[in-house]
Amino acid sequence: MASEISVDVAIIGAGGGGYPAAFFLDKSGFQVLMIDPIGNLGGNCLAEGCVPSKAVREASLVRAQAKKYSFFGLSGSVPSVDWKAILTYKDNVQTTRYTLHREEINNSSIKFYKGIGKIVDERKIEMITDNDHFYVFFKYLIIATGSCPKYLSIPGSHLAVSSHDLFKLSASVPFPSNPIIIGGGYIGIELASMLENLGAKPVILEFTDNLVSGLDRELSLFLAHRLKTRVQIEFGAKVECIKKEKEKFEVNYLKNNQHYSIESDLVIMAVGRECVSPEGIEKLGYATAKPLPVTNTLQLFDFPHIYAPGDVNGKSMLFHSAVLQSRVAAHNIAAGGQPLSRMDWKSVPYAVFTEPEIAGVGLTEEEALHLYGHNIEVVKYDYAVDSRAEILGETEGFIKLIFDGENKRLLGAHIAGIEASQLIAPLALAVRQRLDAEALAHVAFPHPMISEGINKAARTFSP
């Protein structure tokens, strides 16, 4: 007979959508129980995603600097690549993070379990661990089960690896010399960029005619232009099947009504991510592996005592967005289910860690034109006139700001070039706080840094 316990809040998933809420509610005096299959915090981001992938990226950037030695008046050889040593470095970063997270759990009052949380009904979940299973009754439930790599439904798709296979702890995928990457979304192009820096010759097969759907069009064109100098990109490529003979892979694809075949030593599937549903989600009337419908307070429409922050709702599948959503959910639970806090989806920035980087927040130029007509003002600051960009020899890029033509409020910001991932943060704050051009124009940004470009771009609209 399974035992039963009752808690204030049950949380399924300890990634970005789960653990920020857990710690906030624990400190607020709630009884919190959290279960996760990994058995620690961080979800897929730490296990197989953003943290380990960016660790490998940093190694690739160090090596890529050798290509610019002559620009700085330096000389020397390009460092050799020890793929196993790079993966060990990545593992060390992950292990360090896991140790810190374990200490956080131990210093809290959260009941934390490694295992599976299965929904029984709208007020009860079943907890299944290695040693036991029991039922948990809750006042509030947070579903934060995240997402996983998506695979195309084509013959031979099982022969491809995903980003999870490359970046998980103790990964054993050999370094590829000529990988084929299926998909030109942010995961695919980040992989292509870092692997090329490490000496590989990647090929990207992208079904559409641009990179990273949803980007500001000008940003997408810039990215394609720059990446094409390093990576072969085939747009309009519909992958039909993957084959393997001995150690070689063959990918067949259709482009412009013609059939093509290309060989590789590794095929990487990077066609996006799909929502991971908790077991038993059908008991609530929802389909498996489909985004859970939520309000801007992160509550399920049909069950206001159940919250679904993070990738599982499919709205903004980014770790930092999941963290913010988790806190929105926690604030509302702490307020007894009242809509104390709401999610502002458009103020969540994104960053794509290619070389060069791109980043954005708010409305694209196309979206702004659709909503406001021609009553918008678009201003740009070109890296070609920036002192730091000149110092670094990275003068291709721009900062693009989109303002409401009437009240001068910042509607969107898009950056292409070095340091874009850092520069987007203050602009995300400006979008969130509904700041205008005058606010940005009257801040003294440090010199000589590219952030000065934010100030200078705003000043062209609001002198």
- Tell whether 190 is in a known binding site: yes
125 known member of a binding site = no
380 contacts: CB under 8 Å, gap ≥ 6:
398, 399, 400, 401, 457
Per the listing, tokens 């009941």 go with 111
Do 275 and 292 form a contact (C-beta atoms < 8 A)? yes
What one-character-per-residue DSSP string does 147-164 give?
EEE---SSTTGGGSB-HH
Are residues 7 and 111 in contact, defined by beta-carbon separation less than 8 angstroms? yes
Q: What span, in angstroms and rounded, lies between the C-alpha atoms of 447 and 139?
A: 53
CA dist 186 and 271 (Å) reads 9
Using a 10 angstrom Cβ sphere, with 0-12 exposed, 13-18 middle and 19 or more buried, the burial of residue 325 is buried
Specify whether 225 is catalytic: no
Pick from 252, 28, 50, 245: nearest CA to 155: 252
Tokens in use for 455? 């100030």
Residue 194, marked binder = no
Are 453 and 381 in contact by the 8 Å Cβ rule? The answer is: yes
Q: Is 183 annotated as a binding residue?
A: yes
288 is in an annotated binding site: no
Q: Which residues contact 426 (CB under 8 A, 6 or more apart)?
A: 451, 454
Nearest Cα residue to 138 out of 126, 148, 153: 126
Q: Residue 217: in which H helix or E strand, if any?
A: helix 217-227
186 is in an annotated binding site: yes
Percent of the chain as helix, strand, coil, to the nearest 5: 35, 25, 40
Q: Tell me whether residue 393 is annotated as binding.
A: no
366 is in an annotated binding site: no
* Residues 9, 125: Cα–Cα separation, whole Å: 11
> Is 326 assigned to a binding site?
no
Is 69 annotated to bind ligand? no
Give the pairing type, strands 124-129 and 111-121: antiparallel
Instruction: Give me the residue label for tokens 């694209």.
Output: 364
Is 95 annotated among the ligand-binding residues?
A: no
**Contact present, 221 and 212 (Cβ < 8 Å):** no
Does the annotation list 145 as a binding residue? yes
Which residues are bridge partners to 170 per DSSP?
none
Q: Is 187 annotated as contributing to ligand binding?
A: yes
The answer to the question of whether 373 is labelled as a binding residue is no
Paired tokens of 176: 């590829």
C-alpha closest to that of 326 among 341, 338, 314: 341
Nearest C-alpha neighbor of 33 from the set 3, 65, 8, 4 = 8
State yes or no: 460 annotated in a binding site.
Answer: no
146 is in an annotated binding site: yes
Choose, from 158, 225, 259, 447, the residue flagged as catalytic. Answer: 447
As annotated, the binding site for FAD includes: 54, 117, 145-147, 311, 317-320
- Positions annotated as catalytic residues are 447
As annotated, the binding site for NAD(+) includes: 183-190, 206, 272
As annotated, the binding site includes: 54, 117, 145-147, 183-190, 206, 272, 311, 317-320
